[in-house]
Every structure is written in C-alpha cells, then in structure tokens.
Chains A and B, each alone.
Chain A
Amino acid sequence: MADKLSWTDLRRVLAARAGVNEKQAAAFLNAIQSQLVEALKNDKQVKINGLGTFKVQAVAPRKSVNVNTGEEIMIEGYSKLVFAPEAGVKELVEKSVLSSAEPTAESEQPKEIDPLKKLGAQAEEIVDILGDLGQSPKEEVKEPEPEPVAVETVVEEPVVEEPAVEEPAVEEPVVVSEPEPVIVVKEPKKTHFLRDTLICVVVLLMLLLVGYFFLRHQLGNILQSLIQPNETELVADTTETALSVEDEQVEVPKEPAPEVELNEATENEDLENIPEGRIPKEQIMAEWMEASRSVSPADGKYPELITTEAMHEASRLTWMAKRYYGAKIYWPYLYDANRDVIKNANSIEVGTPIRVPKLTDLQLDTTNAETMATLERLQKEALGSGK
C-alpha cells in the first residue's frame, strides 16, 4: 500500500463502493474539480459536508525590505486557496497513525538486542566456569533487581575471571598493531602509512571505547585490585557480599555486626578458606541467572489495569500505546492483554473494549534484551493473528 491515494485510485474505489461504473465516477470527479474552481471564483467559499470548507483567502499587501539594498519594497496582496477541515475530520487526522512511523519499532529492536546478548553469553560463561569448580548453583534468591546483582558479580570477577576480563584489553593492541608493519612493507608511500596508522588508532580507540562501555562498572574495581596487590580490598568485598546473602547462607562463619568494620587481620585468614569464600559467589551467580530469567517481561499476565477503552473508528493499538506508555513500540502488550477479544490485530472491530494493563518498569525498559525479545515475539504473533 502506497501512502498516497491518487486521483485514479479514488475513482476506482469510488466506483466500486458506490456501485456505479468508472465512467460515471470519472464524470462525477471531473465535475467536482471544475465546479469547485468555478464556485470558488464566484463565491469565495464552498462547503462540503463531511469533509470541510474550501475558501479563498486574501493576503493583505505588506511592506518589506530588500535585503541587499535596504530599500523598502511593497509586497502586493494576493489571494490563496485554503482548506479548513471539519471538526470531526480534524480529530480523525490527529489520531491517525502515519504509515511511515510504523516500522520504527522493528528497526529499533535488533540494535539494542545485539550488545546485550553478549552480556548474557558472558553470564553463561561465568556459570560454566563456576560449574567446573565443582559446585552447582542451586540457591534461589528472590532479588530480581538487576543492578545490585550486577555490582555483586563485579565483586567476584577479579578472583575468578580476572584473567578473562583483562585479556581483551591486553590482546587488542597486539592484534591490531600487527597488520601495521605488514602494510608499511607493501606500500612504501608515507601518506598510506599515515592513513593506515590513523585507521589503526581509530579502530583501537573504538575497541577500547566498546570495552570501556561494557566494563564501565567493573573497571573501577579491577583497577583498584591491580593497584593494590594485597587482597584486602577483595576480602572486604567478598565478605560484604557474603553478608548481604547471609540470610540464606549460614555456612559463612562470621559474627554479623563487627564484619562491617573490616578487621583486616581476621579477614585475611578467612580468605584462606577458599571454599567458604566461593559459596557466596555461586549464590550470586544463581541469583543473577534467576533474576535474568524471572525478568522475562510479559507472560501474558497483567495484574493491574490502568483503564479499559472501547475501540472507536480511529483507534489504533499503536496510538493507544503511545498515549498510555509513551511510545508506539509497546503496542504488542495491548494485543497480548486482549487476546480473547482481538481476533485479528490488523482489524479490530469498533466497540471492542480494550484493556490497558499497567506495565512494570522492566516491561517498559527498551534497553533490556529480554523485553525487546518479548516485544518482538508478541508483535510477530499479533501481526500473524487472523491469518
């Protein structure tokens, strides 16, 4: 479907709708065209019920200044043709959805999912490593907030994953700088050499930036642990995390209160008991994985409703999503919450009551890969409905 209705389209549709042949429709449309111009010339104004009013409007002469010479000039008055839509038509247009605006939801999705999937893969790697250490993460901790979990995982990374995390940063310069001399040998021109080094530097910078982006939270801790070869920092952190999960895990043999003050001497002893130190880590991993799983945004259950709205002639799910949630891309949730009444998401009957569920912050989080995946899935289902 083009986003334009041409004169010929109009003629064809009109003939089919009104039950007349195309010749009659053409005669009618041509008559409208010529008569409208005639009538406007005579009457300055033509009202068409159900559409609006065409008017000839006078523009008064006005003074202006020639920008080059500063001379005052007179712009002569003229008339122009304007159209004032009827109130109903105006309202209809305000609620209409521009067809060009639709696909943005789809094009946005892959962008955001890509980098975040890598994080998920990282998480899996970490779990694998932990699994190799001999203990399976079984504790199910109810702490679905992703942020504290992320901080906690950072804490244990320096111990378990420190080499893994450091590797990319160390390798990158080596790998990228290798081709540099090779190219120089092949092309002795100085400009090429300069250009290549520039490209290398830019690529390096970009890689570092990307690395920095992913390790933003972790960098501070890693640097600290590097600067201070003593493990006191780490110990403090691990004990802290141990404390935070102590409710479930009684195996950590510590007094609850004085721990916070971090007596370094005793803490160092505790670190020697490696298995003890590791348990919280596993737990945290389990917690993290659990959180990312329970995060899976829409299960088709929406406990709270904002309101219920009946579909009318100009209603669109996308538009309702924009009104209630702030963006059109959330419209699949509306479909999901109303599967029982929506047979075909592409044409919903007028008068259908649409339940508008309250969405959680997570469900509205477009930076969350799970959320976007769910939205994409729901959208596919919605677009596939009624077929």
Chain B
Amino acid sequence: MLTKEFLGLVADKSGLSKKETEQLMTTMNAIIRESLMDGKSIQLQGLGALEIKERQARTIVHPRTGERSIVPSKNQLVFKPAGTIKDEFKKL
C-alpha cells in the first residue's frame, strides 16, 4: 500500500480532511527524523519503537584476494515491534 492510500484511510478514521492529514504526516515524519538525528529513539504506541543501535567497527576479509579491511562503526535504525503486535502478526 502506498502513502496516498494509507493517508486516505487515516483521514477517514480520524475525521480530519485529507489535506490536514497530509500536513500532519509530513510534520510527524520531520519530527521523527529530527529525533533520530539527535540519537533519540521513538516510541510508536501499539506498534513498537524505532531505536538506534551502535554497530561496532569490524574487519572483513575479501573472499577472493584475502584482503582485510575495516568496516567503520556506524549507527543503525532498528524497528522493535511491540509484544502485542508481534503476536498478532505471528499467525498471518
């Protein structure tokens, strides 16, 4: 499902106009992005949490040349589904 369809569903459910929904959605995404930038994790109630995990630097070996190189450490976005949601989707 693409964003537009989903926006329509949300607009129907919340009783807001499509325009308002769209504006709210972009604002929400901006807020989430900013929080992620600051290294904050975000809780989405009933869905789960968007968390930032630090991945440590590691060495890799090129399988053909045997060359070793270092993958620098970086942060990764991880979605951790809430327990209820996890169970709900298990059966699908």
Contact A4 B50 (CB under 8 A): no
Can you list, as one digit per residue, whether each of B1-33 has a CB less than 8 Å from chain A (1) or not (0)? Answer: 111011001110111100011011111111111
Contact A14 B24 (CB under 8 A): yes
Can you list, as one digit per residue, whether each of B53-81 has a CB less than 8 Å from chain A (1) or not (0)? Answer: 01000000000000000000011110101
Contact B90 A89 (CB under 8 A): no
Partner of B28 from A3, A14, A45, A89 at Cβ < 8 Å: A14
Contact A31 B10 (CB under 8 A): yes
Q: How many residues of A contact B (CB 8 A)?
A: 62
A262 to B79 CA separation, bound complex (whole angstroms): 74
Contact A18 B46 (CB under 8 A): no
Nearest chain A CB to B9 CB, angstrom units: 5
Interface of chain B residues 21 through 52 with chain A (CB within 8 A): 21, 23-33, 35-48, 50, 52
Partner of B79 from A6, A25, A82, A94 at Cβ < 8 Å: A82
A1 to B75 CA separation, bound complex (whole angstroms): 20
Q: Is A359 an interface residue (CB 8 A)?
A: no
Contact A5 B35 (CB under 8 A): yes
Which A residues lie within 8 Å of B37 (CB)? Answer: 92-93, 95-96, 313-314
A48 and B25 in contact, given A39-B1, A96-B37 (Cβ under 8 angstroms): yes
Can you list, as one digit per residue, whether each of A263-297 has a CB less than 8 Å from chain B (1) or not (0)? Answer: 00000000000000000000000000000000000
Can you list, as one digit per residue, whether each of B78-92 has a CB less than 8 Å from chain A (1) or not (0)? Answer: 010100011011111
Contact B14 A96 (CB under 8 A): no
Contact B40 A37 (CB under 8 A): no
A89 and B77 in contact, given A5-B43, A46-B6 (Cβ under 8 angstroms): yes
Which B residues lie within 8 Å of A54 (CB)? Answer: 79
By a beta-carbon cutoff of 8 Å, the part of chain B in contact with chain A is: 1-3, 5-6, 9-11, 13-16, 20-21, 23-33, 35-48, 50, 52, 54, 74-77, 79, 81, 85-86, 88-92
By a beta-carbon cutoff of 8 Å, the part of chain A in contact with chain B is: 1-7, 10, 13-14, 17-18, 20, 24-25, 27-43, 45-51, 54, 56, 78-83, 85, 89-90, 92-101, 313-314
Q: List 23 A-B contacts (CB under 8 A).
A: A4-B40, A4-B41, A5-B43, A7-B44, A20-B20, A28-B21, A32-B28, A33-B46, A33-B47, A35-B13, A37-B46, A39-B6, A42-B1, A47-B6, A49-B29, A50-B29, A51-B29, A81-B85, A81-B86, A83-B48, A93-B36, A97-B39, A98-B52
